[in-house]
A and B are shown apart, each in its own frame.
Chain A
Amino acid sequence: MNDDAGAEEVLTAALTDTGVAIRPAGPDDSVAGVRPRWVALPEATEEIAALMRVTSAHDLAVVTTGAGTKLHWGHPPERCDVLIDTCCLNEILEHEAGDLVVRVQAGVPLDALARALAAKGQELAIDVPLEGGTVGGLLATGIAGPRRFRYGTARDLIIGITVVLADGTIAKAGGKVVKNVAGYDLGKLFTGSYGTLGVIADATFRLHPLPTARAWVTATFDRPVTETQGTREDEKGVAFDTASVDVADEIRVIVPAVAESQAEPSAIEVDWPDVNGPCVIAVLVEGAAAAERARAVQDMMGEKAQVADEPPEWWGRLPGLPGLPGPADRAGDEGVLLEFRNVASRLPGTFVGPFSTAATTGTRPAVRGSLASGVLHVALPPGTEPAAAAAFVGALRAECEDAGRVVVLTAPEEVARRVDRWGHVGGLTLMRRVKDRFDPERRMSPGRFVGGI
């Protein structure tokens, strides 16, 4: 037996001594291409803490996973020794329906949670655009869907959290009452932190009553953008052709009118599978008198608009994903998926940005997301030339930098190494200082997040 194998045995023994179920990692356990050495399956917060005391004593790096649907998001970890799988932390700890509050463990699947809440006529008002995820994954990535326009995102609905830090400290913040300003809001700090500050063990959310009714108003727009040809002169006085691109007038009028209307839509989504083709805009109205309010939206959207009590099939799903991601997709074999935030200029940049960028880079992006809140997802089809994909990211960023942000959620390795995944990050120095305090030895998902955090 060589020294390495001996050391491995010592570490395995130390991990096993915690009483937590430990198994050697296999190829299916890879995190963005980095294979961990062990997978740990804790069943209680105290068990996570016991694990972390061992990983801390032996300087082992830790990555946490739930269902693994977004495990390939972010940079590959610099190192990954122990993969903590939260599958056995799957209890709904407390749901007092009269308080409209639920406390759940991180490993609870979101669909199971939704079923349990629906049985009491309630919901966690976050539409997750990927099926099969867990509460912990939702929080770690902060992903949200169409109704962010009305309800905000996970950070707006989380009211309490329990975390385990790199040294095994169990800490909680917030509580189980919606209105509470005692102490710092660690729930928000951990939401969207990609596992780099510690392990989320459980969380408490504010709930909403299930709407009594829902209606979708949908209309197709054949030409979402218009190009105007013209000529200009360069500095030497030589004339050249120009094309200025703008969003179609009807969209420019309709979307703000609906967003600001007293029908109070919960979401306004666009599905634009090919930026050289038509787009569909769908509006969700929910709650009392939904049918009546949907008719008001229909009037604003024109004769071609249709009202339905079921969503369009693309509603609330990421663009460009042929099937549901599962373990087989974990290696990063999918196309490029971007989050495109165009918050300070919802229109027309939302349309013009991807359209112009596609033309200049020779790519064929698919766009889907929230027109109302200006957060969209853009997918480049698998097989897009890595150089072209990288050029698309850079050009879209340049196009919208004043008003927006482009974050690369997923990308094949040959694209990922050519691009800056995160783009502009305000307050990065402070973020590094936060990381240094929470995880000074850089053991929690090291390198996965902004600025190499």
Chain B
Amino acid sequence: MTDAVLTRLAGLFGELLPADAVITDPVRLRTYDCDGLTYHRATPGIVVLPDTAEQIAAVVRLCDEYGVPFVARGSGTGLSGGALPRTDGVLIVTSRMRRILEIDLQNRRAVVEPGVTNLAITEAVRDQGYYYAPDPSSQQICSIGGNVAENSGGAHCLKYGFTVNHILGLEIVTPDGEIVELSADDPGYDLLGAFIGSEGTLGIATKITVRLSRAPEAVTTLLAAFTGIEAGGQAVSAIIAAGIVPAAIEMMDALAIEAAEAAVNCAYPQGAGAVLIVELDGPHAEVGHQFAEVERICRESGAFEIRVAASAEERAAIWKGRKSAFAAVGRISPAYIVQDGVVPRTALPEVLAGIDRLQEEYGIRVANVFHAGDGNLHPLVLFDDAVPGQGERAEAVSGRILDLCIEHGGSITGEHGVGVDKSRYMPKMFTEEDLDTMQLVRCAFDPRGLSNPGKVFPTPRLCGEVPGVRKGVHPLVESGRAEQF
């Protein structure tokens, strides 16, 4: 892509958008050079800050016309480089589209613009006793548009599912600049389901209809301290085997606890080799019954201390350590890699033992924080970037952890997405045929490959013409069996 084309495009954008919505100044462009995964950086060719779906569609149509790639970005909190810009392309930032357009409590739905933050939706309906269920850790700042692109999860998706289970409809701008409505109510292919989690490669969501959930009557949070991670894992298995589906089951190992203590002074029980946080919610009667069961299981599994939150403040105190864990490891290590892998719950003990072996083999420390209920690991691989070779060794450990996940029938990402960071691992999880088949969806939406290219898939593929696609009259029309299609 030549600078001349970008200059020409910037001029054309200037005719479509307010002057302050088109950024070409190199210094300002640089502030958009990465998302939450800061070790991948690229300064975008142009940044636009549209205010409406029509503006996005117009920008995308021009990109299509000039063959220029574009990338959508919400709040830029993603951890897989999914919103990494293209130096030869346009970055479409949705931060000005922050209106909540409609709230319909009777039918438990709200219609919002993509730049609205995840938490803002809950805040808008909390007083009426509702909330938006998916709760990624970054929910205070992450945008719902980004959640749709990544199919974001959160600590509570064990019981309530992911973004895809809570989106009822989307207005999207397709990679050729059409505005299309996709609704869960319409018959036809579940394009809504295919679009959510496609990481911006199938187009840009410009209006989002979310399902609102009724806030549970009761919430009980319990923190159980164990001497080691095995005992904690045993408790998790026993809870699931007892037929209980908690809202969340989280675990931290000794190193993660140490970091959290250093950072936020969360005062978890002294001497804990692992802490388990279990949250139950639902009707009072049900929660009360299940809580007694969970407490008994934790004691039988060897918990030496159990704390129960009696108030919202105490619940926040229990969660504080867990929620700060990623940032907290900065206190005990100059640098770290946040990994995101998934294993079947029953494989957790083996995989954690495998991570232990990797630590020894490479001389690299790993702090383990994970959504134990659904086997979603977030190992934090610690290293000192001032020590030659450590960064590479940490990178190797991080990759080997994903290999462990794949070997045990798991996934290379549970919620952070593939982005640029993990596209090279996709061929380890999927065959060439699997990836080619997924590519068919990409080609249907984006035959020119302009929408967030270079993400998700390891090697760019050309779509080409569809072989044998009918030209002209539809066969049903031709045979007189239908009048119009």
Chain A residues with CB under 8 Å of chain B are: 78, 96-101, 121, 142, 152, 155-156, 163, 165, 169-173, 175-186, 188-189, 191-193, 197, 208-210, 212, 256, 260, 262-264, 287-289, 292-293, 341, 343-346, 374, 404-405, 407, 422-431, 433-434, 436-438, 440-442, 446-447, 449-452
Contact = CB atoms under 8 A, between A and B. Distances in A.
B186 A188 contact: no
A264 B283 contact: yes
A193 B481 CA distance: 21
A184 B414 contact: no
Given A422-B187, A431-B189, 17 more contacts: A78-B476, A98-B345, A99-B375, A100-B240, A152-B161, A179-B375, A183-B418, A185-B164, A193-B189, A256-B106, A262-B217, A264-B282, A288-B290, A289-B285, A292-B285, A293-B286, A430-B444
A152 B241 CA distance: 23
B191 A185 contact: no
A361 to B, nearest CB: 22
Nearest to A339: B187
B39 interface: no
Interface stretch (B45-53, B193-201, B314-322): B193-201
Given A179-B374, A182-B429, A189 B189 contact: yes
B472 interface: no
Contacts, number: 263
Point out which of A155, A212, A433, A441 has the most chain B C-beta atoms below 10 A from its C-beta: A433
Interface string B257-288: 00000000000000000000000001111101
Contacts of B474: 452
Contacts of B54: none
A282 to B, nearest CB: 19
Contacts of A341: 185
A341 B375 CA distance: 36
A95 B193 CA distance: 25
B411 A451 contact: no
Interface stretch (B88-96, B361-369, B461-469): B461-469
A96 to B, nearest CB: 6
B411 A177 contact: yes
B164 to A, nearest CB: 7
B469 A440 contact: yes
A288 B189 CA distance: 37
B187 A177 contact: no
B2 to A, nearest CB: 31
A433 B376 CA distance: 35
Interface in B402-428: 409-418, 422, 426
A180 B438 contact: no
Interface residues on B, range: 35 or more
A433 to B, nearest CB: 4
The 8 closest A-B pairs by CB, nearest first: A188-B193, A289-B285, A209-B243, A171-B437, A262-B217, A180-B411, A179-B414, A433-B444
A188 B286 contact: no
Contact of B410 (A177, A263, A292): A177
Contacts of B327: none
Given A173-B437, A262-B283, A405-B187, A96 B164 contact: no
Contacts of B153: 179, 181
Contacts of A172: 430-431, 434
A437 B440 CA distance: 6
Given A152-B165, A425-B186, A208 B245 contact: yes
B285 A288 contact: yes
A183 B456 contact: yes
Contacts of A210: 243
9 contacts: A98-B345, A171-B436, A181-B162, A184-B438, A288-B290, A424-B186, A434-B191, A437-B440, A447-B481
B466 A288 contact: no
Given A170-B433, A289-B289, A184 B375 contact: no
B190 A192 contact: yes
B169 to A, nearest CB: 8
B289 A288 contact: yes
A452 B485 contact: yes
Interface string B143-163: 000000011010001000110
Given A78-B475, A182-B418, A442-B475, A433 B445 contact: yes
A447 B409 CA distance: 38
Given A345-B107, A405-B187, A182 B411 contact: yes
A245 to B, nearest CB: 20
A447 B417 contact: no
B150 A181 contact: yes
Given A180-B414, A183-B438, A440-B469, A450 B193 contact: no
A368 B275 CA distance: 49
A188 B217 contact: no
B193 to A, nearest CB: 3
A444 B468 CA distance: 14
A344 B187 contact: no
Point out which of B342, B411, B443 has the most chain A C-beta atoms below 10 A from its C-beta: B411
Interface stretch (B116-124, B176-184, B328-336, B352-360): B176-184
A343 B107 contact: yes
B459 interface: no
Point out which of B181, B289, B431, B440 has the most chain A C-beta atoms below 10 A from its C-beta: B440
B441 interface: yes
Contacts of A171: 431, 433-434, 436-438
